Amino acid sequence: MRNNLITFFSNFKYYFSKDRVLFIRIKQITGIAPLNLSCYKQSLRHHSIASKIHNSGSKDSNERLEFLGDAVLNSVIAEYLFKKYPYKDEGFLTELRSKIVSRVSLNDLALKIGLSELVEYDRKSMQNINVRNSIFGNALEAFIGAIFLDKGFKKSKYFIIEKLLRLHIDVDKLQQTEKNFKGRLIEYTQKSGMNLDFKLDELAHGKQKIFKVSVIVNKKVFGEAEHTNKKQAEQQASEKALELLKNTPKDFFINQEKIENRQEEVLVDVAIEEIPTETINESNDNLINEDLENSLSEETESEDLLAETEVNIEIDAESIHLNKVLDNETEEVKTDN
């Protein structure tokens, strides 16, 4: 009864205050009427606009609440999966939990429930790709931390399971999803007989290094992604390429190859047409002269060989004649004796 009265007066107070809109939006998102709006406000405040509140440099941003919310989220998800899959081992449970609480997944959840519309941040900070990929997911964790401080573990668990998992995540389908998109892409292109290449560019963004990965299939770009982590960029680019390839007609590459072959033929024809007639005639004359020189060279070699053969025949004939003379003289000597 006492708690109901506190909730009633709290609701009444916020309905007629400057925080009325925020109060209503939080209640719509969580299904829970907040009591202490200050912790929710902090959970939605990015450090890019936060004020310094301590000499140590600490700010009233959502980073501390993010730490708390991360612990609550992981605890609830771990218990949920432990009960849902009683015969699965630790490796399976850990991998599935990591898929649910990944930065990409949390960012997506924050967008789906409309929490991203309430986050306060400096627009310039969104130029940083690392911030852009994590700002709303981090805010969701901080938001869970705010619910924990305001309403306790039981209400936090209700929000995570009923408003996030059951409404926006198909856990059974998620467990069958392979995270290694690069491996799946390589396997897909190999089976389809496609040529696959990964192009990596390193971009400088202030003091930060950004990796840009382009997936090239049969000389055509099918997916690009940028990230501060090279492997993440490869995975995201591969995921985009896989999705696009699966929606590409089977005869696309055949037609593309025909077009490229035709373009090459046209280029060759144009190149031949652009060669001056004088150059062609000169080339032909050079070929004729080369043939004549080869023929003359062959005739000269034949004449030299014939002359050499005739000389050898003459030498052989003289040798035979001398041998006969010597034989006759030898016979005469034998007769005289």
Mean pLDDT of 296-305: 53
Tell me how far apart the alpha carbons of residues 184 and 178 are, in angstroms, rounded to a whole number.
8
Query: CA dihedral in degrees (8, 13, 19, 25; nearest 10)?
Result: 20
Residue 100 pLDDT level (bands cut at 50, 70, 90) = very high
Q: What is the pLDDT of residue 258?
A: 60
Q: What is the pLDDT of residue 204?
A: 77
Please give the DSSP secondary-structure letter assigned to residue 164: I
Q: What is the pLDDT of residue 320?
A: 54
The answer to whether 251 and 153 have CB atoms below 8 angstroms apart is: no
Residue 54 confidence (pLDDT) above 90: no
Please, what is the average pLDDT of the chain?
Answer: 78
Residue 28 pLDDT level (bands cut at 50, 70, 90) = very high
Mean pLDDT of 138-153: 96
Query: CA dihedral in degrees (289, 291, 294, 298; nearest 10)?
Result: -130
206-259 pLDDT, tens digit each:
777 888 999 999 888 988 988 888 888 888 888 888 888 887 776 666 656 565
pTM of the model: 0.58
Residues with a known catalytic role: 70, 141
Please give the DSSP secondary-structure letter assigned to residue 19: T
Q: Which helix (H) or strand (E) holds 211?
A: strand 208-217
Which residues contact residue 20 at a Cβ distance below 8 angstroms, ignoring those fewer than 6 apart? 14
Report the SS3 class of residue 227.
strand
Beta partners for 220?
217
Q: Report residue 272: phi and psi, to 5°.
A: -65, -45
Q: Angle at CA 187, nearest 5°, toward 183 and 193?
A: 145
Which region among 108-117, 137-146, 190-199, 249-258 has the lowest average model confidence (pLDDT)? 249-258
Tell me how far apart the alpha carbons of residues 251 and 192 are, in angstroms, rounded to a whole number.
12
Please give the DSSP secondary-structure letter assigned to residue 232: H
Residue 193 confidence (pLDDT) above 70: yes
Which region among 21-25, 213-217, 261-265, 282-286 has the lowest average model confidence (pLDDT)? 282-286
Residue 82 confidence (pLDDT) above 90: yes
